[in-house]
Amino acid sequence: MTAPNKTDIHSTIGVGLSFLIGNFLGVSLWTFAFALFVGLAGARMSWIRDEGVAIATTAIFILGSGFESQQPMLLERIGELTLGVVVGLAVNLLIIPPLRDQQASRYVDSINRRMGGVLVNMGEELSTSWDTDKADEWFRETNSMTEELDTAWQSVRFARESQRMNPRTRLRASSSSSGTRVTRAGADTSRVSYENILGRVDEGVSHLRNLTRTLRETSYVEGEWDSQFRRQWSDVVRDAGYAIADPDADVEPIGERLDRLSSGLAHEGLPRESWPLYGSLITSMRHIAVIVDDVASDRSAREANH
């Protein structure tokens, strides 16, 4: 049962409860308490668990707003309530889902820009020096991104619930049968799954957080980084940031550059104790490089659907 249908049923129950209590028990302090008790007791039932308080407050509101004058208008009250819910359903079905999709798209773009900004800043900072305070700042920024992602998930879930009977969904489904478009990653762009997109963005934020955690816990001082690794790796990080923030940015493929960096280090005879750190940094960036390609493909898919 969708949220609008639940609202209709539970509000009707609240109106009916108020008239039953008012007719048979009258209006007094203890009947207010009884209405509250019934609503909270109903909340223990699975099918109205989330709306028990709404039932109680609806009943209390009607009892407290002049029950005797409203008693003859029970059917009118229920009719007005039903009309309001029907209008709300129409708005949810026809308007809200597309708006929620657009809102989710803006969240995705915002998080991509923030991820890109962190990587660009990281590449610039690490190209010449190391500052542990910066790693703390980047780590906090990834936590803030996760909070924004939670909001985006709520928006998408609401849109999908409202979209189940949306006529636009059926029109898109029928049009997709006549032909589909394929992104450079081979994904079908006839329908955008924001659940998949947000899942990939969430994965990217997790990899970025892991990278910042590695940097934060590695308290290097100036001069302890291998100069060639520092220069090449920071360049890759910076360009990956540009590519995530702007998928149209002209940068050399990140994965290939990481392969060359790994291969070059293998022939330089770096101290054995350096490899765990450098390997971790390269691996984290390799995961993020995959996200870079997905971001570009997702952007193409979203633009094709608007």
The residues pairing with 188 across neighbouring beta strands, listed in sequence order, are 182
| CATH code given to domain 98-304 | 1.20.58.220
The answer to whether 237 touches 147, Cβ cutoff 8 Å, is: no
Q: Which of 103, 208, 87 is nearest to 148 (CA)?
A: 103
CA–CA distance from 100 to each of 5, 29, 132, 170, 202 (Å)?
A: 19, 43, 39, 17, 19
Whole-angstrom distance, CA of residue 44 vs CA of residue 16: 19
Low-confidence spans in the chain with pLDDT less than 70: 1-10, 46-52, 66-75, 77-78, 81, 85, 88-89, 91-101, 129-132, 159, 161-192, 219-224, 247, 249, 251, 266-273, 295-306
Whole-angstrom distance, CA of residue 114 vs CA of residue 120: 10
How many residues belong to the chain? 306
Question: What are the tens digits of pLDDT across the range 122-153?
Answer: 998 887 766 667 888 899 999 999 998 888 88
Would you tell me how many other CB atoms lie within 10 Å of the CB of residue 63?
23
The pLDDT value recorded for residue 153 is 85
The residues pairing with 182 across neighbouring beta strands, listed in sequence order, are 188
Give the DSSP letter of residue 72.
Answer: G
The pLDDT value recorded for residue 201 is 87
The pLDDT value recorded for residue 117 is 92
Whole-angstrom distance, CA of residue 87 vs CA of residue 92: 9
In whole angstroms, how large is the CA radius of gyration of the chain? 28
Would you tell me how many other CB atoms lie within 10 Å of the CB of residue 49?
10
Q: Which of 306, 302, 304, 305 is nearest to 112 (CA)?
A: 302
The answer to whether 144 touches 85, Cβ cutoff 8 Å, is: no
The answer to whether 52 touches 40, Cβ cutoff 8 Å, is: yes
User: Hey, where are the domains in the chain?
Assistant: 3-94, 98-304
What sign for the dihedral angle of Cα 18, 20, 26, 32?
negative
Tokens of 287: 């995961």
Whole-angstrom distance, CA of residue 83 vs CA of residue 79: 6
* CA atoms within 13 A of residue 90's CA, in its CB half-sphere: 6
CA–CA distance from 18 to each of 5, 8, 155, 183 (Å)?
A: 20, 16, 34, 57
Would you tell me how many other CB atoms lie within 10 Å of the CB of residue 47?
11
Phi, psi of 182 (to 5 degrees): -120, 130
Whole-angstrom distance, CA of residue 132 vs CA of residue 125: 11
H-state helical runs in 65-193 = 67-70, 74-94, 96-126, 132-163, 167-176
Question: What are the tens digits of pLDDT across the range 254-302?
Answer: 888 888 888 877 666 666 667 788 888 889 888 888 877 776 666 655 5
